Amino acid sequence: MKTIAVNIEKGGAGKTTIACHLAWHLADAGHRVLVLDLDRQCNASTALRDFESHGSCKQLFEEGFVAPAGRQRGIYSNRMTGEFDADFGKALSAFRANFPKLAEAHDYCVIDTPPAWSWINFAALMVCDDLIVPVELGPFGPDSTKQLSNSIQTVNQRGRRHPIRIAGLVANRVKANDRNQLAMLEELKAKIGRNLFSAHLPDRAHYSQAVQAGVPVWRFEKDVRSSLPAMRAFLDEAMQRIEA
């Protein structure tokens, strides 16, 4: 099972939209897909209503976890209410032991993460194979990537045998007529090179509207000719990077 986390320590950056579309893309390709919705808002769980619910992810952080029978599409939701916050070290140890039990029944696991750093984000980065980082080209975008870089270093040192593989940063909600954003995009390309996806996601309402409707943008019942090519290009590039 290959595990992909979508993470940035900032709300409103498009993590859930990207995670959901990646899960739909993989499922449509015939893969057995598991989603861990670790964000307490559970927006991915609402969007991915065609995935079979396995209940709360709380059970993954407890001893004695038994993996459910394999399904083509499954999802665990963060219905926790802070019960592990006082002793999250024990919860992380249980999660580390339980997570491999999911591998036999699934080809891919996609993890949507909370917007603020916590032990739950640590858990996601502890088990992921690849990390996709959505970046908004606004005044606070660079700060959030610096915060994530520090968090990655912490997880690599304390929670992993091998460093996290960063699939790349993807510029999200790019406004084609915003000169400042386009200048920031060029600066980002010059600074990090191949670590930035060559594909970027434009500022299109169709993406969030499709997620709210519980369907990927390619099944959204509107004219998506201005939105679909960019999402397809991003997903294709994401899979190339993940499988490289």
pLDDT band at 10 (very low <50, low <70, confident <90, very high): confident
Q: How many CB atoms lie within 10 A of CB 239?
A: 17
pLDDT band at 145 (very low <50, low <70, confident <90, very high): confident
pLDDT band at 82 (very low <50, low <70, confident <90, very high): confident
Q: Strand runs (DSSP E) across 113-189, as ranges? A: 130-136, 165-172
Q: Print the domain residue range for 78.
A: 2-243
Q: How many domains does the chain have?
A: 1
Residue 143 has pLDDT above 70, yes or no: no
Q: State the Cα–Cα distance between residues 243 and 130, nearest whole angstrom.
A: 10
If one compares 140 and 128, the residue with the highest pLDDT of the two is 128
| CATH code of the domain in which 30 resides | 3.40.50.300
pLDDT band at 147 (very low <50, low <70, confident <90, very high): confident
pLDDT digits (tens, 9 = 90+) for 165-207: 999 999 999 999 999 999 999 988 998 999 999 999 999 999 9
